[in-house]
Structure formats: structure tokens, C-alpha cells
Amino acid sequence: MPHSVELVDRHSRPSYEEEYDSSSSSESVNLSRFQSRRSHFLRPPSLPSGHSSVASSATSTPVPSRSGSPLPQFLVNSRPLLSTTSDTDSEPAVLLRNRNPWRQERRSWWQLSRRSKRRDGRTWRFAKRWAKRIVRHPLFPRQPITIVLSLILFSLFAIFLTLLLMYVLNPDKDPLPWRAYCSMPYMNSPPDSNNPSLYHDPYRNYSIEMETPPFPHDELDTLPPVGLFVGVFSTDSSFERRALVRSTWASHPRSREGAGAGDDGIGTSRTIVRFILGQPRKDWERRIELEMEEYNDIIILPVAEKMNAGKSHTYFSWASINAWVPPVYVKASIPPPLFSYSNDSKLPPPLASHDSSHAWEDISSAQPQPWVRPDFVIKVDDDAFVMLAELEARLRLEMHAKPPRDASSPHYSYRRRSEATTGHSSGALRHNNGSFRKLFNVQPMAKFSSFQEQDPLIYWGYMVTNRLHRFMAGELYALSWSLVDWVARDPSVKDLTRGAEDKQTSKWMKMHPQAEKIRWVSERCWIYDHPRAGTVYSHGFLFPSEVRRVRKQMSSALKRLLHASASMSPSSSSSSWNSESSPLPSSDTEQVDPEELLIPYGRTPASWAQSTVSTFHARYTPPVADLSTPESIEALVEGSEMSLLRSDSSSSLSEAFTRHPVSRAWVNREGRNKRYEGKRVGGTIVVHFIKQNTWFLETALALLEGKDYSEKESQLDIDDADGDEFPDIYTGQRTIGSPDRPFLTSAESGQDGLR
């Protein structure tokens, strides 16, 4: 019986040590001792005569003294093959009797229990029973034609259901009121809509009492530039787009220096642009390697190139170790503030061709200065067009500004423009959201802990705020260095790296131990989509001169609606509104309930989203056919006279008559100096959703090219210098005319065209 083998007493088991010879006297004694008690139950077979014994020599190889076990082969005895006398004598026989037999081992995890098998069988029988009922139903298709029709109907239903869900879940159903965004002061948007005590809801910031502060600030050029590390997310196959970025906004003087005479690139002397790629495919490895060797501006992250696979977190983790920017080359009148990372430095790395000219001059010197940590790490999509000087100017003011003292109130302390006191002596900066913030005054001998407390916590970008989400849009957003360092080090953040990465970043900010101190700064006016995109964020190329006209129109409309609403229901107005917050009114032709504007995410007038170039969910068509390349670019500028032209396809007018308004609109166009109102910065920061290289080149021509003064403006300057050479000419809008009548008003030109 097998059980008799298991229950044999320990002392009755055969001893294997006696099969070996030994010269030791002690061992011989032990062998003789075991021989007296040797069990003959499993005695090995005796050797035939004429053969030497296995145990005759110590040098002989031992042979197992028992036959193979009849038990299964995976059951291996855990006891050693050779046991000593002490082990055999000291171990009680009770332990062997308490061992569980191999037949009683526990059920493995992959084996289903009887209860699970019964439950699965019951489910399978239930599904099979209902499937038979459906198939046997009289209306179930059985003929080929009915089967095909049923599949078609099912496909149509699936498509309809998918489109319905996409429409219901899509928060962007109406164009956004960009005119209101450009007219009203900006507010920091809350990270948590359920906690209104921290921040103010961005949809309730419409106020007639507040005016958008002018930009740029008077003290902008007195502040030292900030260090920006701009990472452009790209893929291995996007070689053409990287080439366009290198030759346009990454290196163009008007992108790095600004409009007009510029600042000689001082503002962007600390701005570095690099392309961020995941692991390239095998077919593209050689090309990417050559491109890296040629341009020195590509970074390969140890992550697969997939959508929402954690590339953003890997980028910020890489930047926390390897991101460096040039130091301050030109000293400003105000010294740079000291932070916890101000003393970190490293030798300058190899430069790219589109890096700052100041960096190239410094690295060519005998003693190049070491590079330092960036103040901001920026994530940019490769379908975005960035004006570097505009971006640096906004972040420079944000870096050198302090948040309000009372951040717990729902309203930030705003002041009217008439009450504003600016100037270097006051030491105040007017922030782009309308509040006054003082400059950092860090003492040179301050402790490191005080530096760390003064590190700015800034989350900057285009705030997307709707019923479902609240985050900075992914075309461009910036994190201050302290936030980047925390994102890379915090272990809880690593669990939130998968999924929609831009939305995940906002979750990281809410998890920060000082989340209530993070400034969520939203820029909604100067970040928009390409005019041809047709999205809710799309409108024409925007310049400061057009924004000034938009603000003037919105201001007059605000006053009209405020008076109308006060006359209709003064009690409700006084109870719902206060003197500091009033809703934006609409135009005279629209009837909008003022109370609805106070509701978060309420309906806004359509005129607030009106564009002279783009139409929501409509394909862009030029206003007039057969426009030249410069004229077609002018037609994409918001508010330009060229964008206001509309051709009549049913008209039988001659081509010469059709070209007359086009020529007049081209002559009346604004030069870059007038569009920027004589300032260096203050215009478009980012143009997004550039899905075609043609659109990218259109954006480059609109924002980077063009003369500072048009032919008409240059001629007017000459006329002003000549004095009263034409004293009787109308001072209105003029255009070039015939030689005998060199200047004509727009009305006179129209009359000549009708003749």
C-alpha cells in the first residue's frame, strides 16, 4: 500500500551512507551502528558474482540504492539525499505522520471551482436559449435579401447612434465669444469649479466697470528676460513641419525681436526651442539620426510614440534633469529675482542654428557663461505657430509679479484705469488680468527656504472651461520650474500619466500640496485657431489695431444693454448684479436676457463670436475669386477691408469693375506699424490647428512678413511733411487715383467706378 511507505518509521529507513567506504574510524562505527538497524524493505538488488561492489572504493561513482518512485515525477522529496545521524535521530516520526498527502493539495488559482462552473454553465444555457428564440422568431431575416437589408439598417443605426453621442458629448457646439474675451479683463480660472471661494468663474467676469489694461506694460523692457525652454512635440515622419518651424517662428527676427525696430533679440535671448520625439520607428531611425547630427535640436524620449501614452509626463521628467537655458546676457535696470534654482548651472550644450544670436556670440567668446535652469518649461504642438517675443513678454510680466494678498476672495482686487498709478517709482505692475501686483524684492542674503517659498507657481495657457473639463489647451501651455520639478518627483503623479495628457496636467495641478497657490493664468484673446479651421476657436489673424476697434464697439454695446436692463427690472438688476460685475450686453438687433448672462455657461449673443473671415462649421472661401497671394493673405486678416468684400456671382459686371474694390482695399490696408500701434509686442501669441503646410505658410506671411508702412501711409507722411500742398483735400480715407487727381477719398473713388 502506498500509505505504508509514507508511515514507515524513520529509524527503519535504509541508510545510504553505508554504501560508501571511509577510512575514518568514527564513520565505520556509525556504519556498523546503522547496519544493525537496516531495513530490508527497499533493499537494492544484489550484484552478480564477478562484479565489484559499488561501495568497494571511495572513488567510485555512487549509484542510487533504490528504484524509481512510482509517485508522480513533480513530487520531489525536500529532504537532502545524504542525512546525518543527528538529523535522523532527532527528528520525530510524528512530523511525517502530519504531512499532507499529495492528493490533498489546494486547488490552483487557474482552476475553476464547481460553483463557478455551475454559474458559467447557467449563463451559457440562458444565452443559448434566448438566441434560439430570436432566431426562430418570424421576423428574423432568413432570405439573403432580408439579411442584407438588416445589415444595412443595423449599420445606419450604429452610425446614427455614434454621431448622436459625439454631438451630445462634444462641448464645442457654438463659436466662442472671442470679442468678449478681447474686451474684458482676464481672470485666473479656478482649478475646482466646486470651490468658488478660491477663484472666480471665468464665465462671470463680464463687467462694464473694468477695462482691459494696456499691453505691453511701461516697465516691460526694464525687467530682465525670463528663460523659456520650448518643447515642440513632433513625430519621426514630420520632417517638413520641423523644417518650417526652424525657418519661420523659431528663428525669424520678427518672431524673436517683435514688431518695428524690435529689441535686438534681448527678450528671447534666453529662449530655447527643441523638438520632442518618442522612439522612432526602425525605418526612420537613420533619418532622425542624421537630422539630429545636422541641427542639434531634437530630443528622443524613452517612450513609444503613441497618443496619450505618457509623453507629456516623460517630457517634464526629462526637462527636470536636462533642460537648460542661457543666462541673462544684458543687464536690466531691475535685477532678476532669486529663486531656489538660481544657482544651478551647467556648461553650454551644442547650439542649434535657430538659437539666439546672443548665445552664439557668448559661446564663441573665450569664456562662455554657464547655462541655468529655465523659468518656464513649455509644451507646444507642431501644428501651432508661436510668436516667441509675444510669449516671452507675457511670461516675463507674470514671472515678476506677485499674486494678490487676499487670494481667498471670489473677486480679485481690480482698479479702474483712471485710478491706476504706473511707473517705476511705485514698483507696481499691472497684471494682464487687470490687478496690480508688486515686483519681487528678494534680499541677496535671504535663506534658501525663503527662496523656495518665493518660487512662482504658474500654470499658463488657454483655459478650456466647459461643463465637462477645465484645463489648459494642448497647443501651448507653460509650467513654472517649481511645478515641473514637482511633477517629475512626485510618485502619485506617475499614476496619472495615461489618457488625455492635457487634461491630466490639470489634475496634477490640483494634486499639488500648494494647489491653492498655483496661478491658473488664461490668455483667451491672442490664442486662436487658423482662419481656415472652421472650429469654435477660429477667426481671422488678429492685430492690436483691430482689437482696439472691437473693444470700442463692445464698450458702447455694454452701456446700452446695462441701461436697458436697469430700466426693465431695476430690482432684479440691483439684487443680482453689483457695481463691480455686470454682464456683457449684445447688439441692438439681438434680444438677450441679461439674467442668462449671469448663469455659468449661459448663452451668449452671436455677435460676440462674429468674424469677418471665418464661419463656424463652414469651409473658408475667399471673398473674391482670383486674388493674388498678398491679397489672399490680406483677406485672412480680421477686420481688414479685403475681408469685408463680398463678390456677387449673379452680377454681370466686368472684371475691371470687380477688380476696383479689390485694388482699393489693397491700397487702404494697414502697415505693420499701424497694426501694432507703434509697439513692439501686444499681438497674436499662438495660431493653432494648422493642419496643412499651406496654412502654415499663410500664417508666416500674415504675422512675419509685410512692410511697416503701406504705400498709402508712406505717401501720407510725405504729404504731411510738404505742408499745405493740397490744402483742399478731404482728410478722410484716401487712395491713389489718376495723375491729374492724385488723391481721392473712398466715396469719390466709388463714384468714379460707377461712372
DSSP string, 250-305: TT-HHHHT-STT--TT-TTTTEEEEEEEEEPPGGGHHHHHHHHHHHS-EEEEEEE-
Tens digit of pLDDT for each residue in 372-397? 999 999 999 999 999 999 999 999 99
Which neighbouring-strand residues pair with 435?
A: 414
pLDDT confidence tier of residue 139, bands split at 50, 70 and 90? confident
324's enclosing H/E stretch is: none
Contact 57, 23 (CB under 8 A): no
> Using CA atoms, how far apart are residues 501 and 227, in angstroms rounded to an integer?
24
The residue ranking higher by pLDDT, 466 or 324, is 324
Could you identify the residue written with the cell 434566448? 130
Angle CA 59–65–66, to nearest 5: 155
Could you identify the residue written with the cell 432566431? 135
Tens digit of pLDDT for each residue in 605-654? 888 899 999 999 899 999 998 999 999 999 999 999 999 998 765 554 55
**3-state class of 476 per DSSP?**
strand
DSSP string, 717-738: HHHHHH-SSSTTS-SS-EEE--
Could you identify the residue written with the cell 469654435? 536
Q: In this structure, what is the dihedral angle of CA atoms 520, 526, 527, 529, given to the nearest 10 degrees?
A: 160
> Using CA atoms, how far apart are residues 120 and 137, in angstroms rounded to an integer?
26
Helices (H), 413-476: 448-454
Q: In this structure, what is the dihedral angle of CA atoms 328, 331, 332, 337, given to the nearest 10 degrees?
A: 50
Helices (H), 644-744: 655-667, 672-675, 693-704, 711-722
Which pLDDT value is given to residue 59? 45
> Using CA atoms, how far apart are residues 222 and 267, in angstroms rounded to an integer?
11
The residue ranking higher by pLDDT, 582 or 232, is 232
The reply to whether CATH 3.90.550 applies to domain 214-400+440-523 is yes
Of 261-265, 518-522, 552-556, 565-569, minimum mean pLDDT range: 565-569
Peptide bond into 349 cis (omega under 30): no
Tens digit of pLDDT for each residue in 470-517? 899 999 999 999 999 999 999 999 999 988 899 999 999 999 999 989
Average pLDDT, the chain: 76
pLDDT confidence tier of residue 527, bands split at 50, 70 and 90? very high
Short-list 18, 139, 238, 119, CA closest to 690: 238
Read off the amino acid at residue 579. S
Contact 407, 437 (CB under 8 A): no
The residue ranking higher by pLDDT, 88 or 238, is 238
- What are the structural domain ranges in the chain? 2-104, 114-147, 214-400+440-523, 710-755
Which pLDDT value is given to residue 546? 97
Half-sphere exposure of 209 (CA within 13 A, CB side): 12
Cell numbers that stand for 726 in this block: 493740397
Tens digit of pLDDT for each residue in 692-719? 999 999 999 999 999 999 999 998 877 6
Cβ-based neighbours of 135, under 8 Å, separated by 6 or more:
none
Which neighbouring-strand residues pair with 521?
A: 460
> Using CA atoms, how far apart are residues 277 and 295, in angstroms rounded to an integer?
14
Which pLDDT value is given to residue 210? 58
Looking at residue 55, the DSSP 8-state letter turns out to be G
Average pLDDT over residues 277-283: 96
**3-state class of 87 per DSSP?**
helix
Which neighbouring-strand residues pair with 274?
A: 231
Contact 206, 185 (CB under 8 A): no
Cell numbers that stand for 743 in this block: 488723391
The residue ranking higher by pLDDT, 298 or 11, is 298
Contact 438, 402 (CB under 8 A): yes
Angle CA 342–345–346, to nearest 5: 165
pLDDT confidence tier of residue 120, bands split at 50, 70 and 90? confident
Check pLDDT > 50 for residue 5: no
Tens digit of pLDDT for each residue in 18-53? 444 444 444 444 444 444 444 444 444 554 444 444
Contact 342, 482 (CB under 8 A): no
**3-state class of 425 per DSSP?**
coil
Check pLDDT > 60 for residue 751: no
Cell numbers that stand for 27 in this block: 564513520
Average pLDDT over residues 129-158: 91
Check pLDDT > 60 for residue 742: no
The residue ranking higher by pLDDT, 622 or 101, is 622
Could you identify the residue written with the cell 475691371? 656
Read off the amino acid at residue 94. V
Short-list 489, 503, 464, CA closest to 312: 503
Which pLDDT value is given to residue 260? 93
> Using CA atoms, how far apart are residues 685 and 386, in angstroms rounded to an integer?
6
Cβ-based neighbours of 235, under 8 Å, separated by 6 or more:
277, 278, 305, 382
The CB density around residue 752, as the number of other CB atoms within 10 Å, is 13
> Using CA atoms, how far apart are residues 564 and 593, in angstroms rounded to an integer?
11
The CB density around residue 23, as the number of other CB atoms within 10 Å, is 7
Cβ-based neighbours of 31, under 8 Å, separated by 6 or more:
17, 18, 22
The residue ranking higher by pLDDT, 99 or 554, is 554
Rg (CA), the chain: 40
Check pLDDT > 70 for residue 404: no
Of 299-303, 563-567, 625-629, minimum mean pLDDT range: 563-567
Which pLDDT value is given to residue 592? 58
Could you identify the residue written with the cell 514637482? 486
Average pLDDT over residues 127-156: 91
> Using CA atoms, how far apart are residues 645 and 639, in angstroms rounded to an integer?
11
> Using CA atoms, how far apart are residues 341 and 420, in angstroms rounded to an integer?
34
**3-state class of 448 per DSSP?**
helix
Cell numbers that stand for 546 in this block: 483691430
Short-list 251, 182, 185, 216, CA closest to 681: 216
Q: What percent of the chain has pLDDT over 70?
A: 62
Backbone angles phi, psi at 464, to 5 degrees: -95, 115
Short-list 201, 198, 203, CA closest to 510: 198
Tens digit of pLDDT for each residue in 414-430? 333 333 333 333 334 43
> Using CA atoms, how far apart are residues 713 and 718, in angstroms rounded to an integer?
9
Short-list 300, 305, 323, CA closest to 227: 323
What's the first-to-final CA gap in the chain, in angstroms?
125
The residue ranking higher by pLDDT, 151 or 411, is 151
Tens digit of pLDDT for each residue in 168-206? 888 788 899 999 899 876 544 444 444 544 444 443 444
Helices (H), 481-627: 481-489, 501-511, 544-568, 570-576, 594-597
> Using CA atoms, how far apart are residues 238 and 243, in angstroms rounded to an integer?
9
Contact 392, 367 (CB under 8 A): no
Average pLDDT over residues 129-137: 89
Which pLDDT value is given to residue 421? 34
Average pLDDT over residues 366-370: 96
94's enclosing H/E stretch is: helix 94-98
Which neighbouring-strand residues pair with 465?
A: 470
pLDDT confidence tier of residue 733, bands split at 50, 70 and 90? very low
Q: In this structure, what is the dihedral angle of CA atoms 37, 39, 40, 42, given to the nearest 10 degrees?
A: -150
pLDDT confidence tier of residue 729, bands split at 50, 70 and 90? very low
Rounded to an integer, what is the distance from CA 91 to the centroid of its chain? 69
Could you identify the residue written with the cell 547630427? 293
Which pLDDT value is given to residue 347? 96
Which pLDDT value is given to residue 576? 39
Which pLDDT value is given to residue 743? 34
**3-state class of 522 per DSSP?**
strand
Which pLDDT value is given to residue 583? 38
Cell numbers that stand for 64 in this block: 542510487
Cell numbers that stand for 661 in this block: 474694390
> Using CA atoms, how far apart are residues 139 and 133, in angstroms rounded to an integer?
11
